[in-house]
Amino acid sequence: MKDVLTPSADGDAEPDRSAEPSLVFSSKRRVPHIRQTESSECGLACIAMLLSYYGHETSLGELRNRFTVSTSGATLASLIEIADANGLTTRPLRLELYELPKLSLPCMVHLHHGHFVVLTAVRGGHVHISDPATGVKKIKLDEFDELFSGIALEAHPGPAFKKIKS
């Protein structure tokens, strides 16, 4: 993987060369699919999916009430802040398509045109994603290559993470 990205003061992500090895969590749990209700809520819906996957059951509405997302959508920096406020430790990365299998899954990936999805598996020449706009999909790697911006956000429970059943 090329770079760990660090949010800068203007909300963009800057490379941070002090990357640590990826933490891998393996389980048979499924990522719950959460649909976005507004076009600008894909990132927030992805955070809700990851939180729920790790046992902090939350809804998009709950996150929307606690965090403000602009009408143009969330930045990577704002998603990192929201994840951190909910006890997730994150690692933003810039990578090539062939490096996707090295990611700690599930994780968020950024697609062109400012859209975020949750990547749940990479196998058999396909990626499996949970797209908050259109649903759960299996996409051929060469087709995904046309969509993928090269940015991923790994997230896992940190020291402040609390499991919550709704």
**Type of residue at 79:** L
Find the catalytic residue in 4, 13, 34, 42.
Answer: 42
Asked whether the beta carbons of 128 and 118 are under 8 A apart, the reply is: no
SS3 at position 20 = coil
SS3 of 81-120: the string is HHHHHCCEEEEEEECCHHHHHHCCCCEEEEEHHHEEEEEE
> Does residue 42 carry a catalytic annotation?
yes
Active site residues: 42
